[in-house]
Amino acid sequence: MTSPHFLKLPFLAILSLIFLNSCVSGKKITYFQNMEQLEQLAEASKTGLSIKPNDLITISVSAYNMEAAMPFNLLVTGRSAGGGDAGLSAGGTQQLQPFLVDSDGNIEFPQLGTMKVAGMNRQELSGKLKTLISQYVKEPIVNVRIVNFQVSVLGEVNFPGTFSVPDEYLSLPKALGLAGDMSIYGQRENVLVVREENGQKSYAYLDLTDANVMNSSYYYLKQNDMVYVEPNKSQKQRSGINPNTGIYFSIASVLISLAILITR
């Protein structure tokens, strides 16, 4: 007769394998380790976004004499479907129409004509416009916004998708936060960021478990960047396992338990 202790061995072996596969090192899921060794933040974080062809930007010009500043604002005109003024917001204020940066990096600005804006950040364009408009308006205030800042976050995150961002400073962790953070199966040491600038694609793999990732020029995202979180080794292995494997293990454990009871 087979010894009950012998029959227990396969069952214990199965439990041991399941336990070992379920263990995840804390170092594999902890962000920004070795923070004390971080020397300095990347310079890219200080410059902000650069305006690119096909961007949509809004430019508002105001001054103490608003009547003098109004000709330099591109306002929405026309009538809405309900018969109201399409250029008025719900609060009754005039809405700005965004400028589309053409393929040559130019916009047509009211009163000033064709203007090259590609390659400049918001502060640079605002300063340039302020200088030009000052010839016509006393002490103008110029505000520039990029309104089509979007990033896509895909892979092993809880809510993958494309996200519109109102702020010009979007770090990689903040983008992952918009997507509900990585799942436990996301590979934190090898997050891919794909970028397209001037018609050329570039990419970088970032290790979010290392605080030095903050020094990467890819740590702060740009318009239309794509972030992909690769599944870790455990998840890749699981994808190749028959989905009924868990059921088979359950049946096997029940049969082993019955065999142990019968042979007592």
Domain limits, the chain: 4-25+237-262, 31-47+149-231, 56-146
pLDDT at residue number 89: 47
HEC profile for 186-229? ECCCCEEEEEEECCEEEEEEECCCEHHHHHCCCCECCCCCEEEE
pLDDT at residue number 84: 46
Q: Which residues have CB under 8 Å from 113's CB, separation 6+?
A: none
**Joined tokens for residue 4:** 């009950």
Other Cβ atoms within 10 Å of 125 Cβ, number: 22
Termini Cα distance of the chain:
10
pTM over 0.75: no
- Say how far apart CA 143 and CA 146 lie, in whole Å: 10
pLDDT at residue number 143: 94
CATH-assigned architecture of domain 31-47+149-231: Roll (3.10)
Tens of pLDDT along the chain (264 residues) come to 545 544 454 554 554 554 445 444 445 545 555 555 555 444 444 556 889 998 999 999 999 999 999 999 998 775 544 454 445 444 445 788 999 999 999 999 999 999 999 999 999 999 999 999 999 999 999 999 998 899 999 999 999 999 998 877 899 999 999 999 999 888 989 999 999 887 789 999 999 988 888 889 899 999 899 999 998 776 555 555 555 666 766 776 766 776 677 776
pLDDT at residue number 49: 82
pLDDT at residue number 162: 95
- Say how far apart CA 106 and CA 178 lie, in whole Å: 32
**DSSP code for 28:** G
- Say how far apart CA 100 and CA 30 lie, in whole Å: 42
CATH-assigned architecture of domain 56-146: 2-Layer Sandwich (3.30)
Closest Cα partner for 188 from 150, 227, 160?
Answer: 227
pLDDT at residue number 244: 61
What is the per-residue pLDDT across 75-114, written as a single tens digit (0 to 9) for each? 877 554 445 444 544 444 578 899 999 999 999 999 999 9
pLDDT at residue number 81: 46
